[in-house]
Structure 1
Amino acid sequence: MKSLRRPSKKLLMLEILRHIIPTLTAIARDTNVFKGYSDISGLYSDTSLPETKTRMRKLPLPKVVDKDQENLKFYPPKLISIAGINPLGIERRTVFPPVSKLDPSIYGPQESALKEEHLKGHLDGMSVQQVHIALEENKLFILDYHDMFLPFLNQINALEERKAYGTRTLIGNVKANCY
């Protein structure tokens, strides 16, 4: 009778990759992607996915979204994981506009094209001066995917029906002290 041996770590890893790579490829080719935040928030409502209602329990609504979806605009990063799978992407801002850490000879100027006039229509009634106060009080943060994704954007955007960009999201709470 043969003895059963445990598979080696290398063999186990190869088996995992053998199953993961086709799955990731199928997901990457799927054109039925979320078109906006309403598609994502629809996962938590009773009206979404009616054909699977009996087979799948509804996902619990995150507390930060439960009260007011507008809170996602300027909510303190200490209270929610707005960075998703990369919480280290959130940094305290010390200067404005943001400055890239990438090589300027390859990726262009390090200073961001983001200026104060770009913020004016998106501050929910706050002034640019309040943003500068938040910067001085260490209450302004940035979720910066620009430097992470910029080296890969040409390759991603060369794919058919795929477009991507590296976002920079300013996060802060200058109306009330919620920290």
Structure 2
Amino acid sequence: MLKKFKNFFHPIENKIDMSFSPFIISIDGKRMQVMQATDDNIPDLLILEKQVYSGSTPWSSFSFKTELAKRKNSLYLVVYYESILVAFIGARFHPRETHITNIAVTPEFQRKSIATYLINFIIDKARNNGSEAVSLEVRVDNKGAQSLYRKLGFKPTFVRKNYYQDNTDAINMILWLAPHRVNS
């Protein structure tokens, strides 16, 4: 009788496909290489953060190194134009939800559809892995990013008080990929 309930109490873990092959994209007439991030990219990631976040680095070298090591359920992509890192995105994949942990595009390359391309790539990967939703956080004062996320179908759900290092609040946003239940 207990065998019958084995998978009920210990469900078979959904297999998450984290495979990735580098490729070239053309955006705004520029050929860019999209690759999986490695520890070798960390110095470039920190430089890009300084460009985007007014000289600060919200994620440290240690933070990136820790996230990049989670290869079973995390995917971090870097986008290079020639030898310059122009964008990156990171996400954690789980059977029910994929969470975009970080995304940044250097100011020179913003508003050229790179962020849209990267987010859609993660959304497609989430769908292929059976995720029901994709979530992310965004600063309450980052109206440009909020607008992009809304355009892609994300909806605000709640505010996380003092979420960022400077105590700025974050809006949690979610994109539902499959019908979901609302607990009552």
- Check whether TM > 0.5: no
Q: More strand by proportion, 1 or 2?
A: 2
Name the larger-Rg structure: 1
Where on the TM-score scale, by shorter chain, does this alignment land: which range? under 0.3
Question: Which one has more relative contact order, counting CA pairs under 8 Å at least 6 apart?
Answer: 1
